[in-house]
Amino acid sequence: MTYYILVFTSFLQSVLGFTLISSSVMLFKEPIKKRITIGLVVMISGISLLSFMLYSQGADSVDRIAILFILLIELSWFLICSGDRFFVSFFNFLTFVNIYVSISFISDTLAFDLRGNAFVGGRIVIRLLIYAIIAPLLFKFVRPRFRKLVDTLDREWRKALWVPLIFLVLQILILYYPQAYWRWTGNNWSRIIILTVYMLFLAVYYLLYVQADAIVEKYALEKRHLLIAQQEKLWESELIRQKTEASLANRQRHDMHHHNAVIMGLLQTGDSDNLKQYMNSFDATLDAHRSDVFCLNPIANSLMNLYASRAEAENIKIEFHGFIPERIGIDNVDLTCVLGNTLENALEGCLRLPKGVYKEIIVSVKYIDKRIRLQVVNTCEDDVVFNGELPLSKKISGGTGTKSILYTAERYDGTAGFSLIDGKFVTQIVLNEK
């Protein structure tokens, strides 16, 4: 009976250990609690079935198919809980299958000289030590870089998928064919071959780990160049606007004596009705070319004027509250990225509403203690879907602006949050000066 209990404990440890290490880098699908609950139910059902087979058929019979049964349970866990894209999830699953198989081989090899209960108990202890060591390392060191890679890479994951797949095929061929590893003799060359494969496996993944920051920085630099190009266009439009205003001012100054002559003529004739009409027309001409001063910061002021005019053209009410000084410790490109993308997302959110529906954008910004706090609230549809804390874009290849906001906030030791409250989308961003 003790032997059966130890074998069952070993199976249970395999399932829980695989789940723990794979979850350390996984992005869970929303709603998280519901997904985890369903996954645990499936897991418990699978373990219960495995227990019944162990009791009815014996440990030797079940041990032959246990690894396949455990992998099916873990595949169900991934399908239910993983919120990553298909190829990312598949890459993760194959990677952790490799890790699980290697842990099984290492623990069985180290406990090979033991027999019966001692063998199973020793294998449990060795696996426990291995899981206890690698799980925290995966969560603390691997997860941050891996999540950045997931956010950065796209179709590259299809090619990366071949790495764990090839390693898995090699492991299966070496460990199980033509002879299973537990039947190897002490001088079997397969031991050297599998150790070489493991060293190669670790080397490839270590290179991926080391290069993660470089890959992320490369893509971030490309995005930064794109933002710089966007800012240059903004500056060009601002320069054109200022030239237009200067030209208008010159024309108005040149024509002012004509306006005065008309006004004087109407006053002398006492034609007050035509005088009022003329003055209203003159004021309307001035207002049509008016540029508001929302703040002293030229970049922020240009963006606010740009999106104020766009919102006005779409009959969207827009309000700006707060203040940004002329000089701040935020790079102009980064300020353009954060404020421009936030206002662009707010405008697009309003434009997706049906015609005739009230639309508004409220922008509040504060500059206190060398820290910018930005909040943008806009009307939007109620069907906004979130993936974790990020809203999913409805545009093809969308979501770049939101990710750029998050990336910029991280660079300035700040935060960025997105939420849907009472039919309004709320964006809150905090940037600390460098």
Asked whether the beta carbons of 166 and 95 are under 8 A apart, the reply is no
Length reported for the chain:
434
Handedness of CA 417, 136, 92, 150 (dihedral sign): positive
Residue-by-residue pLDDT tens, the chain, 434 positions: 687 788 888 888 989 999 999 999 998 988 888 999 999 999 889 888 888 887 787 766 666 677 888 889 999 999 999 988 899 999 999 999 999 999 989 998 888 888 888 988 999 999 999 999 999 999 988 888 888 788 777 778 888 899 999 999 999 899 888 788 877 876 678 888 888 989 998 898 888 777 777 777 777 677 667 666 666 666 665 566 566 666 656 666 656 656 666 666 666 777 677 666 766 676 666 555 445 677 878 888 888 888 888 898 899 999 999 888 888 888 887 888 888 889 988 999 999 999 889 999 999 999 888 899 999 999 998 888 887 677 877 665 556 678 778 878 888 889 999 998 888 999 999 999 87
3-state secondary structure of 233: helix
- Burial of 293 per CB tally in 10 Å (0-12, 13-18, 19+): exposed
Determine the Cα–Cα distance for residues 163 and 98; give it in Å rounded to an integer: 11
- Burial of 123 per CB tally in 10 Å (0-12, 13-18, 19+): buried
Determine the Cα–Cα distance for residues 314 and 306; give it in Å rounded to an integer: 13
pTM: 0.60
Determine the Cα–Cα distance for residues 434 and 411; give it in Å rounded to an integer: 9
Question: What b-and-e string marks burial along 106-119, b requiring 16 or more CB atoms within 10 Å of the CB?
Answer: bbbbebeeeeeeeb
Spans of all domains in the chain: 2-184, 292-434
DSSP 168-182: HHHHHHHHHSSS-GG
Q: Which two tokens stand for residue 180?
A: 């299973």
Closest CA to 146 of 188, 194, 209, 87: 209
- Burial of 92 per CB tally in 10 Å (0-12, 13-18, 19+): buried
CATH of domain 292-434: 3.30.565.10
Q: Which two tokens stand for residue 82?
A: 């993983």
Determine the Cα–Cα distance for residues 226 and 237; give it in Å rounded to an integer: 17
